[in-house]
């Protein structure tokens, strides 16, 4: 099963826009009500059974069942009788709001932190239409239940053989988007390691440096627009909350944030494609960039948003049939890529000069080469056990041959294109 998500801009009319916003508010209400039920149940378990309700507020019957997902979903039709407004929203969309809460709740149960929170006015920003009987997308319009046709900018066609499974309506600043999940009934094997390897080191001084010596400048989207944002935000802070002027100003700030976000994402995609043009295997560090975002260069780390970049590289590699893997990040800048000896240097030293073997290169390129070496090590150990089990599991002679057939022609193509 192959699933892709495409995001298209949609242009709802003023009436439709109003209706969307109202639906979001109704869904938010249902979400908050369901969360209140869960919270009451939890608090009810905390208080002692023999105390009266004056001392402890939440006394619920001890044998009351936990308000689970199915229970709350089954309660919706009943609730619609007492709150007719709930009936305005398509029922499946409303159900998704409850399901969304329980996704959050299960996550909290598994991880142990992140109790779901109440959503304030305007914090419910999307609606999910989970099922369609027939294709809702035509060339010019998106057809949704209870709201009708919305003009859509189908800037790229829906690929042949794919069916529309879900549509999520999103609001970003004053723009509306539809995230369309597409599914196709084919199974595609994950890309196998092959061809030219690239190690990628990311950093603030240069956005990325590869083991081949390719460098790209740091973009600093946020920094360039920060003064503008500062001005807008200061104006916003001086306005009466919830007034008309406040709302106008708030939109300006939101639009600027949206613009920064878009330019950054565009840059990341272009860089990722450039990496895939240069090689067949991409390796990156498995760093958790959130810790460094708390440090002195926090703002710049967040501006570059390396975490998002890695996710995008992973996706682009998958889409273009290139192999992607993360490698251990420890000490990549302190080792010599040629002889493996340790070369201690602090951040101010920009040149790698090995006293053991005399290898001299840029500091970041050395780090990239270390990452590449680790990646090759990783796949040589992984690949060994991988092919063996594949052979043992599958029908004899199918698994191994197929992977070879796939990887060989690709090698030829990339070599030709380079010439
Ligand atoms: Zn060396």
Q: Which residue has the higher pLDDT, 187 or 401?
A: 187
- Judged by average pLDDT, the poorest of 15-24, 126-135, 290-299, 376-385 is 376-385
Answer yes or no: do 73 and 154 share one domain.
yes
Rounded to 5, what percent of the chain is helix, strand, coil? 50, 15, 35
Whole-number Å distance, alpha carbon 365 to ligand 1 midpoint, is: 14
Closest CA to 162 of 141, 132, 135, 133: 135
Answer yes or no: do 155 and 211 share one domain.
no
- Domain termination residue (choose one: 155, 184, 213): 184
Half-sphere exposure of 159 (CA within 13 A, CB side): 13
Global pTM? 0.79
Helices (H), strands (E): how many in the chain?
Answer: 10, 13
Closest CA to 12 of 258, 176, 255, 169: 176
- Judged by average pLDDT, the poorest of 138-147, 209-218, 227-236 is 209-218
Answer yes or no: do 19 and 104 share one domain.
yes
Whole-number Å distance, alpha carbon 12 to ligand 1 midpoint, is: 62
pLDDT of residue 50: 67
Q: Which residue has the higher pLDDT, 175 or 415?
A: 175
Q: Are 243 and 398 in contact (CB under 8 A)?
A: no
Ranked by mean pLDDT, the top range of 37-46, 193-202, 239-248 is 239-248
Using the predicted structure, report yes or no on whether residue 396 has a pLDDT greater than 50. Answer: no
Euclidean distance between CA atoms 343 and 357, whole angstroms: 11
- Strands 197-202 and 281-285 turn out to be parallel
The rounded mean pLDDT for the chain is 83
Whole-number Å distance, alpha carbon 281 to ligand 1 midpoint, is: 24
Answer yes or no: do 264 and 398 share one domain.
yes
Q: Count of CB atoms within 10 A of residue 208's CB?
A: 24
Answer yes or no: do 44 and 146 share one domain.
yes
pLDDT of residue 57: 59
Binned at pLDDT 50, 70 and 90, residue 24 comes out as: very high
The percent of residues in the chain predicted with pLDDT above 90, rounded, is 44
Answer yes or no: do 284 and 339 share one domain.
yes
- Judged by average pLDDT, the poorest of 91-105, 266-280, 285-299, 308-322 is 285-299
Q: Which residue has the higher pLDDT, 360 or 30?
A: 30
Answer yes or no: do 206 and 274 share one domain.
yes
pLDDT of residue 96: 94
Using the predicted structure, report yes or no on whether residue 281 has a pLDDT greater than 60. Answer: yes
Binned at pLDDT 50, 70 and 90, residue 348 comes out as: confident
pLDDT of residue 403: 36
Whole-number Å distance, alpha carbon 355 to ligand 1 midpoint, is: 7
Average pLDDT (313-339) is 87
Euclidean distance between CA atoms 346 and 348, whole angstroms: 6
Whole-number Å distance, alpha carbon 340 to ligand 1 midpoint, is: 6
Answer yes or no: do 160 and 298 share one domain.
no
Binned at pLDDT 50, 70 and 90, residue 30 comes out as: very high
Structure tokens at 173: 């600043």
Structure tokens at 53: 């309700």
Whole-number Å distance, alpha carbon 325 to ligand 1 midpoint, is: 25
pLDDT of residue 393: 35
Average pLDDT (117-136) is 92
Q: Which domain holds residue 384?
A: 191-419
Whole-number Å distance, alpha carbon 211 to ligand 1 midpoint, is: 16
**Residue 350 DSSP symbol:** -
Answer yes or no: do 196 and 254 share one domain.
yes
First-to-last alpha carbon distance for the chain, in angstroms, is: 36
Euclidean distance between CA atoms 339 and 35, whole angstroms: 59
Answer yes or no: do 133 and 233 share one domain.
no
Average pLDDT (114-121) is 93
- Judged by average pLDDT, the poorest of 36-50, 107-121, 365-379 is 36-50
- Judged by average pLDDT, the poorest of 28-37, 190-199, 263-272 is 190-199
pLDDT of residue 53: 59
Q: What is the CA radius of gyration of the chain?
A: 27
- Domain termination residue (choose one: 134, 168, 184): 184
- Domain termination residue (choose one: 159, 184, 209): 184
Kindly report, residue by residue over 68-95, the tens digit of the pLDDT: 999 999 999 999 999 999 999 999 999 9
Q: Which residue has the higher pLDDT, 228 or 299?
A: 228
Q: Which residue has the higher pLDDT, 55 or 271?
A: 271
Answer yes or no: do 382 and 253 share one domain.
yes
Answer yes or no: do 119 and 266 share one domain.
no
CB under 5 Å of ion ligand 1: residues: 336, 338-339, 341, 354, 356-357, 359
pLDDT of residue 47: 65
Whole-number Å distance, alpha carbon 358 to ligand 1 midpoint, is: 6
Instruction: Domain count for the chain, please give it.
Output: 2
């Amino acid at each position: 099963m192959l699933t892709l998500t495409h995001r298209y801009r949609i242009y709802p009319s003023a009436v439709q826009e109003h209706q969307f916003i109202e639906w979001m508010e109704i869904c938010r209400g249902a979400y908050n009500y369901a969360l209140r039920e869960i919270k009451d149940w939890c608090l009810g378990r905390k208080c002692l059974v023999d105390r009266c309700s004056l001392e402890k507020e939440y006394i619920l019957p001890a044998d009351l069942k936990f308000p689970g997902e199915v229970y709350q979903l089954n309660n919706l039709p009943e609730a619609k009788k007492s709150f007719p407004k709930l009936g305005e929203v398509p029922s499946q969309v409303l159900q998704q709001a409850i399901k969304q809460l329980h996704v959050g709740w299960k996550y909290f149960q598994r991880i142990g932190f992140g109790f779901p929170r109440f959503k304030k006015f305007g914090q419910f920003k999307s609606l999910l239409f989970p099922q369609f009987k027939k294709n809702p997308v035509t060339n010019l319009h998106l057809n949704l239940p209870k709201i009708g046709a919305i003009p859509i900018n189908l800037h790229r066609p829906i690929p042949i053989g794919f069916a529309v499974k879900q549509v999520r309506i999103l609001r970003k600043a004053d723009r509306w988007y539809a995230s369309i999940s597409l599914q196709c009934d084919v199974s595609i094997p994950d890309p196998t390691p092959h061809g030219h390897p690239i190690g990628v080191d990311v950093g603030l001084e240069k956005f990325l440096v590869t083991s081949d010596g390719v460098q790209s400048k740091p973009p600093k989207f946020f920094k360039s627009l920060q003064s503008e944002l500062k001005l807008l935000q200061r104006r916003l802070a001086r306005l009466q909350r919830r007034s008309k002027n406040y709302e106008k100003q708030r939109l300006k700030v939101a639009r600027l944030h949206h613009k920064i976000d878009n330019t950054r994402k565009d840059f990341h995609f272009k860089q990722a494609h450039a990496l895939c043009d240069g090689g067949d295997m991409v390796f990156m560090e498995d760093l958790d960039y959130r810790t460094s975002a708390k440090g002195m260069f926090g703002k710049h780390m967040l501006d570059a948003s390396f975490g998002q970049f890695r996710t995008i590289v992973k996706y682009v590699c998958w889409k273009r049939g290139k192999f992607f893997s993360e490698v251990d990040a420890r000490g990549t800048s302190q080792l010599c890529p040629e002889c493996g000896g340790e070369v201690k240097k602090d951040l101010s030293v920009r040149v790698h000069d090995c006293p053991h073997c005399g290898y001299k290169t840029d500091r970041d390129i050395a780090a990239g080469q270390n990452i590449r070496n680790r990646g090759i090590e990783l796949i040589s150990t992984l690949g060994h056990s991988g092919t063996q089990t594949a052979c043992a599991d599958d029908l004899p002679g199918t698994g191994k041959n197929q992977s070879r057939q796939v990887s060989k022609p690709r090698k030829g193509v990339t070599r030709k294109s380079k010439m």
